[in-house]
Amino acid sequence: MSTAAQRFLQDAAVKSADLMHREIIRRGMDSYDAAHLKGRARIRDWEAARQKCQEIKREAINHLDRYLLQFEEKVIARGGHVFWAADSEEACAYVKNLATQLGVRTVVKSKSMVTEEIHLSPVLEKAGIKVWETDLGEFIVQLREEPPYHIVTPAMHLNRGQIAKLFREKLDSGITSDDPADLMAVARRKLREAFFAAEMGISGANFLVADAGVIAISTNEGNGRLCTSVPRIHVVVTGIEKVIPRLEDLAVLWPVLATSGTGQGITTYGTLIGGPRRPGEADGPDEFHVVLVDNGRSQLLADAEQREVLHCIRCGACLNICPVFRHVGGHTYGTTYPGPIGSVLTPHLNGIAEFKHLSYASSLCGACTSVCPVKIDLHHHLLQNRRNATAAGATKSSERMMFRAWRSAMLHPWMYALGGWSVRKALRILYRLGLAGSIVDPMRVWNRYRSPVPLPSESFRARWRKDRAAN
Amino acid sequence: MPQTEKAPTDNSSRARILERIRAGLRTVIPEPPAMASEPVILKPVFFERIIFEPISNPLERFQQECVSNLMECALTADSAASARQLSEVLQSLPAGEIFVQDDPSLRRLIEMTTEITTELAAPRRAIRWSSQGAPAEASQATVTLAEALIAQTGSILVTASCGGRGASVVAPCHIVYATTGQLVPDLTTALSRVSQERILDRNSFACVISGSSRTADIEKILVQGAHGPRRLVVILESGG
Amino acid sequence: MSRKVSLFVPCFVDQLLPEAAVDTVKVLRRIGYSVEYPEEQTCCGQPAFNTGYWDEARPCAERFVRVFKHADLIVCPSGSCTTMVRAFYPELLAASSWRADAIALASRTFELSEFLVKVAAVTQVGATFPHSVTYHASCHALRELHIHDEPLQLLRQVDGLKLIEMVRSEECCGFGGTFAAKFPEISSAMGNSKAESVAATGAEFVTATDPSCLMHLEGILGKRHAPTRTIYLASILAQQSPPPSSAQVKP
């Protein structure tokens, strides 16, 4: 078992038993569920909306080179720069070199999961650059020196008391209120200093619009707006798969992203940026750089079954509905992307041997697939990952041998019947001796958490044969 | 000035990534997929399924959406009424400079508002015009026009021409001066117009704004007013 | 079409929960179907398939197709096993010589409640069960077979039965087959959340289309010393007046 798998098992065990954690998550998810339903009601034909979004992303991914080149051409024509980064190292190096060459001392960042994926902040900080996370949730987890808990609401695992205490310790010892509005005001005051002092703003992009040559960012707080308006350099870090063909595609993608992500009809700000400030504009950055990150995505294109995983618009709906996520939380996964999409994607980005356990940590209930706004067949991809893991020989040989024995039994009814009868008989004896749950009990994992399964003296088959013989 | 001198193709990974993309796309995807759990929708679809409810009364819809977006929308009959409305809003704000998009209609509106202020013997405000540069950090409000209003989502569409990027986000109060003639029914219409009129070729920035800034990052409780404006006011004048 | 069905009994029902199959037969006979049970059947292959061992699952699937090849209609007291045949056999046997037979077989295989309501076209099966019952929507039946309403239609026709709706009835109970063994803490945490939803209804019984869910829930409820008992759908439908007291009803 990989160390990532071991850590996951330990963390999952701890978190599953943590009832306070479960209660906080339950309240957060109940709030999301209610908002999401209201959001859905604003869309007349939700299934048609999903279908349309799936078609848009399918067209974009199936012609990825064409649309990326179209996007790049327009950005460059307007004086922007486009850098293609094969992996994390190249992407971080580009941003770091740019920052150091242009004398950047402070960076303000708006939310970008890709910058988490490539671990950009530590690289910049090692170069002596101060990085401020400006999204409130990201700001909070940055102060706590922990990764984001959820791709849309990074601090949903904390209550207001914990956040007030954190702000008191790290920002201002005079804080007395734990009211969310007051805490936001504290963060606003602090981060405003950063917005107006920073030389560089780094953002992600929800979409790269090919025909218009612009990035599209969906936000609520206004921090993304400030990061991309005030500092003199704007850097966008984005995955290559974020591309969409046309500006008009946003007419359905924006509402669907907002509905799935937070239950809103649309996020407060749908920002479109195509380059640095033009002559005559009152303000805006002098430089505009788009870093297109590959980092394993192009490999996924070749996968006939799983190419559609690249359709993901990072809305977080699958995390919200997943019962496993609701019970273990985002940190347990130990990956940049948690939840169902994370479990499907991470083996492709970071290797199947180390991360296959995530594909097994699922009951395959299919709730994720049912809510995905771009109709990714998530739970079936988890099943495929399991098959890929065994085919690659990445699973325990003892398990394979066990299933080989199982197969032999199932191919021979007498073996199956005898085996079943023997196990039932043995367990009945064991339990009569009071050894349920002990080290010799093969069902001890079951019996630790549940009362024992019934052990009938006759199988259905035996009863049927008896009835048949009697008639 | 390092980066600006390099040619775009001087990025060695670019060719490699494009080659990998093209190689990956040569894989044929079976249609329909082998393990579809959703019932396969028969293709081709000859009619476009209606995703959003059609909007019969854009003005009414816009006003309803403003309410749910926590935006203020004041309907006015003429520019005099608009000026009075603007004056009222400004009076409610703390003292301090305001930032205004430098446009003839706003110059006129501010002039009328200033007259009202003088009549009321209220203190005058310093005004910074967008032609002078970016809004000051301490601005109490910004006043801009809009490119369009979108009824479906209760949104205003602004561009860099509407006073720049900071004009709609720096100050705690953003006031938009618009006319009912600027209303379009939905996002599709608005975005089509942006494409057809090549608005993004003439503007480095555009934004669809649907309310005041907000966050729910703490306990999923909605807080109005995050890093952007706490108040978004639309003075909506009949006509145009 | 002849009123004859072949019974597909999941291996764990055969070994651990035979009453579920016995009651399934009772109900089918009562509505006028004769039931055949191919005794050579063993397992559909789902455990190996779900764990990723498709090479080991494939021969079991091929054998299954052979055993049931001549059956006109197949009824199964389990949504997850029906899913294996309907949703996954075509994929698993895509390169097999049994592919065409598997596809044909898939279209004739039904979970019990969908068989009763959609094929036999009955919702009233003459059952009496004067108890309060809540319904858990098992995941495979719900999301793979799209069974939403059929079990509820059947339950509503049961004489004396009081149906109480559960919150989050569509949330997974946490069994998930080998998931329960590999991730027992998560599995039981999910089971306990489901048990809380069940308890909130105050119902005497919880039922579902899947005996596997119920077996897991029974274990969880038992550990919690909860008053609610599980009962498989067919076992409710098999009950006829005079109704036994709840103490006598075997889950």
**A155 — pLDDT class (breaks 50, 70, 90):** very high
Instruction: Say which residues have a Cβ less than 8 Å from residue C141's Cβ, sequence separation at least 6.
Output: C79, C80, C82, C83, C111, C113, C147, C151, C208, C209, C210
Each residue of A204-224: pLDDT tens digit?
A: 999 999 999 999 999 999 999
Q: What is the fold of B58-237?
A: Rossmann fold (3.40.50)
Q: Which of B159, B172, B103 is nearest to B131 (CA)?
A: B103
β-bridge partners, C36: C6
State whether A460 and C143 contact (CB < 8 Å). no
Residue A370 in contact with partner chain C when CB distance is under 8 A: yes
Instruction: Say which residues have a Cβ less than 8 Å from residue A58's Cβ, sequence separation at least 6.
Output: A308, A311
Give all chains having 3 or more CB-to-CB distances under 8 Å with chain B.
Answer: A, C
Using CA atoms, how far apart are residues B82 and B175, in angstroms rounded to an integer?
A: 11
Residue C169 in contact with partner chain A when CB distance is under 8 A: no
**A395 — pLDDT class (breaks 50, 70, 90):** confident
Q: C160 CA to chain A: closest CA distance, Å? A: 28
What values do phi and psi take at A226, rounded to 5? Answer: -65, -40
* Pair A202, A138: CB distance under 8 Å: no
Each residue of C141-189: pLDDT tens digit?
A: 999 999 999 999 999 999 999 999 999 999 999 999 999 999 999 999 9
pLDDT tops 60 at residue B40: no
Measured at the CA of B199, the angle between CA B196 and CA B204, to 5 degrees, comes to 145
Percent over 90 (pLDDT), chain A: 83
Within chain C, residue ranges assigned H as helices are 11-16, 18-30, 46-50, 54-67, 79-83, 89-92, 99-106, 112-114, 139, 150-156, 178-182, 184-201, 211-223, 233-237
Task: Kindly state the tokens that stand for A130.
Answer: 């101060």
pLDDT tops 60 at residue B103: yes
Which pairing describes strands B183-184 and B205-209: parallel, antiparallel, or unpaired?
unpaired
Q: Model's pTM, two decimal places?
A: 0.93
Percent over 70 (pLDDT), chain A: 100
State whether A366 and C9 contact (CB < 8 Å). no
Pair (C115, C216) in one structural domain: no
Note the pLDDT of residue B1. Answer: 40
| 3-class secondary structure per residue, chain B | CCHHHCCCCCCHHHHHHHHHHHHHHCCCCCCCCCCCCCCCCCCCCCCCCCCCCCCCCHHHHHHHHHHHCCCEEEEECCHHHHHHHHHHHHHCCCCCCEEECCCHHHHHHHHHHHHHHHHCCCCCCCEEEHHHCCCCCCCCEEEECCCEEECCCCEEEEECCCCCCHHHCCCCEEEEEEEHHHEECCHHHHHHHHHHCCHHHHCCEEEEECCCCEECCCCCCCEECCCCCCEEEEEEECCC
* Pair C113, C135: CB distance under 8 Å: no
User: Out of A241-250, A412-421, C20-29, which region has the weakest mean confidence (pLDDT)?
Assistant: A412-421
Substitution target from B153, B204, B221, B223 for chain A, most A beta carbons within 10 A? B204
Instruction: State the burial class of residue B222 (Cβ atoms within 10 Å of its Cβ: 0-12, 13-18, 19+).
Output: middle
SS3 at position C6: strand
Residue tagged 């816009």 (tokens): B62
Q: Which helix (H) or strand (E) holds A203?
A: strand A200-203
Note the pLDDT of residue B35. Answer: 55
Q: Which of A184, A148, A111, A164 is nearest to B214 (CA)?
A: A184
Domain count, chain C: 2
pLDDT tops 90 at residue A152: no
Q: Average pLDDT for residues A120-138, to the nearest whole number?
A: 96
Which of C 136-195 lie inside 8 A of B, CB atoms?
Answer: 143-144, 146
Pair (C221, C183) in one structural domain: yes
* Pair C236, C158: CB distance under 8 Å: yes
**B10 — pLDDT class (breaks 50, 70, 90):** low
What are the chain A neighbours of C52 within 8 Å (beta carbons)? 383, 385-391, 395
Using CA atoms, how far apart are residues B41 and A411, in angstroms rounded to an integer?
A: 38
- The number of residues in chain B equals 240
Q: Which of C75, C98, C119 is the last residue of a domain?
A: C119
Secondary structure of chain C: what % helix, strand, coil (to 5)? 50, 10, 40
Note the pLDDT of residue C247. Answer: 57
Residue C39 in contact with partner chain A when CB distance is under 8 A: yes
Pair (C114, C137) in one structural domain: no
Cross-sheet strand order for the sheet of B148-150: A243-244, A207-209, A214-219, A269-273, B205-209, B155-159, B148-150, B183-184
Pair (C110, C155) in one structural domain: no
Query: pLDDT tens track of chain C, all 251 residues?
Result: 569 999 999 999 999 999 999 999 999 999 999 999 999 999 999 999 999 999 999 999 999 999 999 999 999 999 999 999 999 999 999 999 999 999 999 999 999 999 999 999 999 999 999 999 999 999 999 999 999 999 999 999 999 999 999 999 999 999 999 999 999 999 999 999 999 999 999 999 999 999 999 999 999 999 999 999 999 999 999 999 765 566 555 55
Pair (C114, C141) in one structural domain: no
State whether C90 and B34 contact (CB < 8 Å). yes
User: In one letter, which amino acid is A242?
Assistant: K
Note the pLDDT of residue A24. Answer: 87
Half-sphere exposure (Cβ direction) of A232: Cα atoms closer than 13 Å: 10
Domain boundaries, chain B: 58-237
Percent over 70 (pLDDT), chain C: 95
β-bridge partners, A291: A83, A237
Residue B162 C-alpha from the chain's centroid: 10
Instruction: State the burial class of residue A11 (Cβ atoms within 10 Å of its Cβ: 0-12, 13-18, 19+).
Output: middle
Residue B37 in contact with partner chain C when CB distance is under 8 A: yes
Residue A456 in contact with partner chain C when CB distance is under 8 A: yes
* Pair B210, B69: CB distance under 8 Å: yes
| Residue C102 counted as domain residue | yes
* Pair C79, C140: CB distance under 8 Å: yes
Instruction: Determine the residue of chain C that is closest to A419 in CA distance.
Output: C15
* Greatest distance between any 2 Cα atoms in chain B: 77
Task: Report how far apart, in Å, the C-alpha atoms of B1 and of each of A103, A283, A287, B5, B157 are.
Answer: 11, 20, 11, 7, 35
Task: Kindly state the tokens that stand for C37.
Answer: 């049970």
State whether B13 and A84 contact (CB < 8 Å). yes
What's the domain range around C14?
A: 4-119
Note the pLDDT of residue A217. Answer: 97
Each residue of A315-369: pLDDT tens digit?
A: 999 999 999 999 999 999 999 999 999 999 999 988 888 898 999 999 999 999 9
Q: Which of B237, B194, B18 is nearest to B106 (CA)?
A: B237
SS3 at position A292: strand
Q: Which helix (H) or strand (E) holds A429?
A: helix A413-432
CB pairs under 8 A between B and C: 10
Q: Which of A313, A428, A263 is nearest to A52 (CA)?
A: A313
Note the pLDDT of residue A470. Answer: 82
Give the one of A51, A65, A98 whose C-beta lies nearest to B18's C-beta.
Answer: A65
For the segment(s) A43-298, the CATH number from 3.50.50.60, 3.30.930.10, 3.40.50.10420, 3.40.50.300 is 3.40.50.10420
State whether A307 and B155 contact (CB < 8 Å). no
What are the chain B neighbours of C144 within 8 Å (beta carbons)? 37
What values do phi and psi take at A267, rounded to 5? Answer: -75, 160
pLDDT tops 70 at residue B38: no
Residue A449 in contact with partner chain C when CB distance is under 8 A: yes
Residue B221 in contact with partner chain A when CB distance is under 8 A: yes
Residue tagged 């699937």 (tokens): C61
The DSSP line for A72-127 is: HHHHHHTT-EEEEESSHHHHHHHHHHHHHHTT--EEEE---HHHHHTTHHHHHHHT
β-bridge partners, A202: A109, A235
Residue C215 in contact with partner chain A when CB distance is under 8 A: yes
Q: B141 CA to chain A: closest CA distance, Å? A: 15
Percent over 70 (pLDDT), chain B: 88
Q: C15 CA to chain A: closest CA distance, Å? A: 5
Domain boundaries, chain A: 43-298, 404-470
Residue tagged 């601005």 (tokens): B139
Instruction: Say which residues have a Cβ less than 8 Å from residue A62's Cβ, sequence separation at least 6.
Output: B25, B29
Using CA atoms, how far apart are residues C50 and C41, in angstroms rounded to an integer?
A: 19
Which pairing describes strands B205-209 and C34-36: parallel, antiparallel, or unpaired?
unpaired
What are the chain C neighbours of B39 within 8 Å (beta carbons)? 146
Higher pLDDT: B8 or A168? It is A168
What are the chain A neighbours of B50 within 8 Å (beta carbons)? 44-45, 48
Pair (C177, C93) in one structural domain: no
Q: Which helix (H) or strand (E) holds A186?
A: helix A180-197
pLDDT tops 70 at residue B83: yes
Which of A 35-54 lie inside 8 A of C, CB atoms?
Answer: none
Give the one of C88, C143, C146 whose C-beta lies nearest to B35's C-beta.
Answer: C88
Instruction: Say which residues have a Cβ less than 8 Å from residue A322's Cβ, sequence separation at least 6.
Output: A339, A340, A367, A368
Give all chains having 3 or more CB-to-CB distances under 8 Å with chain C.
Answer: A, B
Substitution target from C91, C140, C145, C147 for chain B, most B beta carbons within 10 A? C91
Q: Which helix (H) or strand (E) holds A234?
A: strand A233-239
Each residue of A27-64: pLDDT tens digit?
A: 888 889 999 999 999 999 999 999 999 999 999 999 99
Substitution target from C136, C186, C215 for chain A, most A beta carbons within 10 A? C186
Residue B14 in contact with partner chain A when CB distance is under 8 A: yes
Using CA atoms, how far apart are residues A407 and C229, in angstroms rounded to an integer?
A: 34
For the beta carbon of residue B48, count every other beta carbon within 10 angstroms: 8
Q: C211 CA to chain B: closest CA distance, Å? A: 22
Pair (C101, C167) in one structural domain: no
Residue C141 in contact with partner chain A when CB distance is under 8 A: no
Residue B210 in contact with partner chain A when CB distance is under 8 A: yes
Q: Average pLDDT for residues A227-243, to the nearest whole number?
A: 98
Q: Average pLDDT for residues B58-69, to the nearest whole number?
A: 96
* Pair A236, A204: CB distance under 8 Å: yes
Instruction: Determine the residue of chain A that is closest to B69 in CA distance.
Output: A268
Each residue of C184-208: pLDDT tens digit?
A: 999 999 999 999 999 999 999 999 9
Note the pLDDT of residue A80. Answer: 97
Instruction: Say which residues have a Cβ less than 8 Å from residue C251's Cβ, sequence separation at least 6.
Output: C205, C214, C218, C229, C230, C231, C232, C235
Which of C 179-208 lie inside 8 A of A, CB atoms?
Answer: 179-191, 193
Q: C228 CA to chain B: closest CA distance, Å? A: 33
Residue C90 in contact with partner chain A when CB distance is under 8 A: no
Q: Which helix (H) or strand (E) holds A290?
A: strand A287-293
Note the pLDDT of residue A393. Answer: 87
Using CA atoms, how far apart are residues A446 and C211, in angstroms rounded to an integer?
A: 16
Q: Average pLDDT for residues A230-244, to the nearest whole number?
A: 98
Measured at the CA of C36, the angle between CA C35 and CA C39, to 5 degrees, comes to 140
Instruction: Determine the residue of chain A that is closest to C38 in CA distance.
Output: A461
| Residue C142 counted as domain residue | yes
Instruction: Say which residues have a Cβ less than 8 Å from residue A171's Cβ, sequence separation at least 6.
Output: A143, A186, A190
State whether C87 and B34 contact (CB < 8 Å). no
State whether A450 and C39 contact (CB < 8 Å). no
Average pLDDT, chain A: 94
CATH number at residue C162: 3.40.50
Q: A40 CA to chain B: closest CA distance, Å? A: 11
Q: Which of A385, A310, A314 is nearest to A344 (CA)?
A: A385
Give the one of A82, A229, A302 whose C-beta lies nearest to B27's C-beta.
Answer: A302
What's the ipTM? 0.93
Give the one of A83, A137, A303 whose C-beta lies nearest to B11's C-beta.
Answer: A83
Instruction: State the burial class of residue A444 (Cβ atoms within 10 Å of its Cβ: 0-12, 13-18, 19+).
Output: middle
* Pair A213, B200: CB distance under 8 Å: yes
DSSP summary character for residue A437: T
Q: Average pLDDT for residues B134-151, to the nearest whole number?
A: 97
Residue C90 in contact with partner chain B when CB distance is under 8 A: yes
Note the pLDDT of residue C86. Answer: 96
Q: B208 CA to chain A: closest CA distance, Å? A: 5
State whether B37 and C143 contact (CB < 8 Å). yes
